[in-house]
Amino acid sequence: MMHWNKISRSCMTLPLLLAIPAQVLADSTTAISDFEEIIVSAQKRDQSLGDIPLAVSAMTGTDLQAMGVMGSADLARLTPSLALVQTGPGQNTVSIRGVTSSYNLAPTVSVYIDETPLDFRTDARASASDTDFFDVSRVEVLRGPQGTLFGASSLGGTLRIIQNQAALGEHQLKAEASGSTVKGGGEGYAAKAAVNLPVGETLAVRASVSHQKFPGYTKTVFPVDYFAPSASDPVTDDENGRNERTFLRLAATWQPSETLKFQPSVIYQKSNVDGYNQSDSNRNKYTYANQFTPEYTDEMVILNLLASKDLGFAELISSSSYVDRDTLSIEDYSALSAKIYADIMGTTDDVPELQTLNYFPVNFESWSQELRLASSGEQRLGWLVGGFFQKVTNDTNQVVESEEFGAFLADLFGIPATSDIIGYYSPIKDRQFAGFADLTYEVTPSVSISAGLRAYDLKQTITITQTGILAGPFTPTVTSKQSGVNPRANIMYKIDEDAMIYASASKGFRAGGGNAALIAPPDACLFGDAYNPSYGSDTVWNFETGQKATLFDGVLSINSAIYQINWNKIQGLVRSDCGAFIANIGKARVRGIESEVVLKPVDGLALRASFSYNDAEIRSINPEVVGIGVNAGDRVIDVPKTNFSVGADYTREIKDDLQLFMRAGLQRVGSTPTSYTTNDARTIRDAYTNVNAALGVGHGPFQLELQGQNLTNSFQVHAINFGGLPVPPDAARYTVASPRMFMLILRYSMN
């Protein structure tokens, strides 16, 4: 408590900086670089970033390139309280402010590409796909629950990736080619291009395309004996985790009149992954055991039609979206078969290979429609009203097959031989209706208050069918319904045109789901009282105060916030002796502080720093699940208490039309537990430091850049699987970041 009070007092003194006369620093500088105004739509209408009383980080496409941000993983280096757990090459689980998600649950951060929500459950490895930022207009990170305007899964916040739209009357062309190499791994390359073409005065089209190969950097070895790993086990693949990704986007803008606009777009993305970026705790770094190389494919299509009509007093906006995503994971589950065999035989000696394949396809299909009306112009009363509908189908299949292990089990149980160890099929259908409204009233030129709410109605239908030797019983169709209201309110005080302080309260929620049947009646099972065919939503309340300021004639920018989040009815995994299931297990509290600082002391130089502290703690556990391993006072898993980064970028004009630029950055991520139920040192994710740098030159439309990532070659663990599948017995399997990597990039841009 003492530490929290000190942090609170420190944060609350930040607004006092706003009263310092601007001349204090302005007179001592030789050149001033003003901060560019960024227009964002975090409140679903265009506003200046500095006028929004919310904790929002926003970077334009130019900023992203200048700071070396090429995808979501890079974004986490620079954004306070934003954390990404890499579940595989190009796949991420995103969390904000310590509100985390886990396997088989809906996300806690809603990810949008333009106006399309991508709220994928973390089944298999079908978490949020990484998106290339090559042709992006800006990226917005909304920290804190956004349940009023963005709905379900905005429990911790919202990540919005806004692509460049087709621009009327403009010819634009940009292209990029790169090559990369990683220490101890392979080589990669990328080719990217985007073009914007006007077609008359009222129509324009834009196309962007890229193909990338990300180098692998882990090795697989054949486990001669799972229970006695040896340095002599043969290497079967020395470039695991290589990933090829193709991206295509076509967009158009048609504006038949000054007040009417249509913007259709289509996105296609496909990834092919050979192996994963993993490392077993009982082997050399960047090495893991498998009888064959895992495979993963991810194919996604996004269609969107955005239409807007200026009515004079307001703007009417319609967004219609369709998403179709197919993923297929083929993994080696031989370690599972070996462990079961050893448990049955009572010895780890002479365990056969028992090659076992896990085949895991997932199909996600979503239709969504949003219609909203937002007031126009400068008025004392600003308002927004809208409605939202979404229909989602999420079909999950799993087949675990092994002829040798199946024959062993069939002989053991006295049944006909089969290779079908377990089969699982689970179609989930979600339907959501919501209506929302938001009002902002300017009480005085300096004081504004706002309030909003979202009323929602959810319906989910789930059926789970199991087959095979080790299958549980059939689960009948379960239908669950949920409804509620998500309010928010805030007050803002503008000290002047460049500084404000604010306070807010907001609520967020995440939809519940269904469970497979246990293999015995619940009252005969451990923690059976907590079992329910369906589990409910979890909710958060966020209480926050913060400040934003641009000081000293644009030399210094400081944005900070302090907050408390109360997390109720947390969705968590319960492991019973009759099978695992999801339940609402208890409550947690997050107390945190975050800050972003940018200093531009002279022309061409920017010094940046971001910091976040999140004390995320379990506060209580429901009586039905006491004993599962989670206790009051435990830290919430996968939440580093501290995370900070510092960096600098510098651009200098050497002579006419020739520029030199350089940047360097350091990120420090604190340690965190990754398991509630296993108090093993191998489940603690160690702190790590990441150092990146770049040097380049620009001449006319061309730019050449050399990047170095993880320059200290530190071993960085992003996720830990201990005791789960498909981990070898008595080992932890780490998901690891890349060793030292260098990349050479050539760019061309014509406007």
Is position 306 within any domain?
yes
What is the arithmetic mean of pLDDT over 248-260? Answer: 97
pTM beyond 0.85, yes or no: yes
534-535/475-496 β-pairing: unpaired
pLDDT band at 725 (very low <50, low <70, confident <90, very high): low
Q: Which residues pair with 448 in a beta bridge?
A: 442, 492
Coil/strand/helix, residue 35? coil
pLDDT band at 127 (very low <50, low <70, confident <90, very high): low
Is position 13 within any domain?
no
Residue 24 in this model has a pLDDT that exceeds 60: no
pLDDT at residue 500, as a whole number: 96
What is the arithmetic mean of pLDDT over 511-528? Answer: 83
Is position 184 within any domain?
no
Is position 185 within any domain?
no
pLDDT at residue 416, as a whole number: 87
Q: How far apart are alpha carbons 219 and 236 in whole angstroms?
A: 8
Q: What is the mean pLDDT of the chain?
A: 88
pLDDT at residue 124, as a whole number: 43
Is position 6 within any domain?
no
Is position 10 within any domain?
no
* CA–CA–CA angle 253, 326, 269 (5° rounding): 40
pLDDT band at 35 (very low <50, low <70, confident <90, very high): low
Q: How far apart are alpha carbons 593 and 613 in whole angstroms?
A: 5
Residues 490-509 pLDDT 10s: 999 999 999 999 999 999 99
Q: How far apart are alpha carbons 19 and 381 in whole angstroms?
A: 29
Cis peptide upstream of residue 53 (ω within 30 degrees of 0):
no
pLDDT band at 251 (very low <50, low <70, confident <90, very high): very high
Number of H helices, E strands in the chain: 7, 44
Count, residues in the chain: 751
pLDDT at residue 49, as a whole number: 81
148 in Cβ contact with 438 (< 8 Å): yes
CATH number at residue 404: 2.40.170.20
Is position 424 within any domain?
yes
Residues 387-421 pLDDT 10s: 999 999 989 898 999 999 999 999 988 888 889 98
506 in Cβ contact with 146 (< 8 Å): yes
Is position 630 within any domain?
yes
Q: How far apart are alpha carbons 372 and 386 in whole angstroms?
A: 4
pLDDT at residue 23, as a whole number: 33
In the chain, % of residues over pLDDT 90 = 60
- Number of Cα atoms under 13 Å in the Cβ half of residue 510: 31
Residues 614-669 pLDDT 10s: 999 999 999 888 888 788 999 998 899 999 999 999 999 998 889 999 999 999 99
pLDDT band at 29 (very low <50, low <70, confident <90, very high): very low
pLDDT at residue 471, as a whole number: 75
What is the arithmetic mean of pLDDT over 735-744? Answer: 95
pLDDT band at 17 (very low <50, low <70, confident <90, very high): very low
What is the arithmetic mean of pLDDT over 455-471? Answer: 86
Instruction: Please tell me the least confidently modeled range out of 43-57, 181-195, 588-602.
Output: 43-57
pLDDT at residue 36, as a whole number: 64
Residue 374 in this model has a pLDDT that exceeds 80: yes
Q: Taking Cα atoms as reference points, which of 450, 542, 554, 564 lies closest to residue 499?
A: 554
Please classify residue 334 by burial: count the beta carbons closer than 10 Å to its beta carbon, then call 0-12 exposed, 13-18 middle and 19+ buried. buried
Residue 2 in this model has a pLDDT that exceeds 50: no
DSSP 515-541: -PPPSS-GGGSTTGGG--SEE--EEEE
103 vs 477, residue with greater confidence = 477
Residue 662 lies in domain: 31-179+190-750
Residue 125 in this model has a pLDDT that exceeds 50: no
Instruction: Please tell me the least confidently modeled range out of 14-23, 250-259, 568-577, 742-751.
Output: 14-23
Work out how many domains the chain is built from and give that number: 1
